[in-house]
Amino acid sequence: MTVDLVLVAGGAAAGAFGSLLGLGGGVLIVPLLTLGFGLPLREAVGVSLVSVIVTSSAAAGVYLERHVANLRLGMTLELFTAAGALVGGLVAFALPERLLAGLFAALLAYTALTMARRGIARGPRPAEASGPAGASGTPPTPATATDAAGETPGAAAEPAPPAGPADVVAGDATRRGWLTGSNPTSSVPFVASLAGPGYAIGRFPLGVVGSVFAGVVSALLGVGGGIIKVPLMNLAMGVPLRVATATSNLMIGITASASAIVYFLRGGIDPYVAGPTAVGVFLGALAGSRAAPRIDVRILRLLFVVVLAYTAVQMALKALG
């Protein structure tokens, strides 16, 4: 098999595993390209960003069609993730590769820990393509989009909003201007207007800060950043998990795009590597999302925790030189 087809296969495996385990492509593609194919980390990040755009945009299209994603909230927050991604993309070219490898090792360790805790916290359950990390760009098939959004129907995993809708809006509206309501052009506070059916938006300023951080992380490490955005929207802002996951997918596209432009224009994306990888990840994620309802991922997840931990160690060793 030629190297290009090996890249397609590797991308497909990363896409399929990511889809089955609720992870985005980036956290798998970057180690695959650096440790498996010997690519410089920065180049792997550029390639990963393209794959993340492709998979998350495909997923976002399905979520929007089903009206699961909150377009207005997503666009408002992505203004800040994109700004963070622009800064991160520019900074990435100034940072030493070893530092980036160290940061990536920390991200892998955090992801492994999160997955292990999810595995312990949940009882036996069939395949899942969900959870916070699942926001990172798995294209759901039309048949599985709702499940892939992060929740099994009726699951009681949704935390209550941090404050009641009325408290949030009324409290903020008395303190802030344009953002929350004293704008003379509208009688509806801005943050209140971002709410969806059955939920209000709380702690908007925290959402803004967290979004900037997610954008920086995405650009530095080539990941979608859903592992930050979904908990931020769900736990801090009171957005239902399904909506948060779908909205995160929508946001990932523009976040990754802002930094991918920096990588592209600075010659940081090799089309001979990015093409096969992106095609592979897309096909793999599609296959994974179709197979998810039929696969018990508990053992797969445990195996993956081990693989992620091992990869984190390898990345850490790379960082230490």
- Name the residues that contact other proteins, by CB under 8 A: 2-5, 7-8, 37-39, 50, 53-54, 57-58, 60-62, 64-65, 67, 69, 71-72, 75-76, 78-79, 82-83, 86, 89-90, 178, 183, 185-186, 190, 193, 197, 253-254, 256-262, 264-267, 269-276, 278-279, 282
Closest distance to other proteins from the beta carbon of 186 (Å):
7
Closest distance to other proteins from the beta carbon of 123 (Å):
34
Closest distance to other proteins from the beta carbon of 317 (Å):
22
Closest distance to other proteins from the beta carbon of 298 (Å):
31
How far is 289 from 15, CA to CA, in rounded Å? Answer: 9
Closest distance to other proteins from the beta carbon of 259 (Å):
7
Q: Which residues contact 62 (CB under 8 A, 6 or more apart)?
A: 139, 140, 141, 142, 145
Q: Which residues contact 218 (CB under 8 A, 6 or more apart)?
A: 26, 49, 52, 81, 84, 85, 88, 224, 225, 252, 255, 256, 259
How far is 280 from 109, CA to CA, in rounded Å? Answer: 25
Closest distance to other proteins from the beta carbon of 234 (Å):
20
Angle at 255 between CA 254 and CA 257, to 5 degrees: 60
284, 11 contact by CB (below 8 A): yes
How far is 95 from 277, CA to CA, in rounded Å? Answer: 25
Closest distance to other proteins from the beta carbon of 124 (Å):
35
Closest distance to other proteins from the beta carbon of 254 (Å):
4
Closest distance to other proteins from the beta carbon of 78 (Å):
6
Q: In residues, how long is the chain?
A: 321
How far is 247 from 149, CA to CA, in rounded Å? Answer: 9
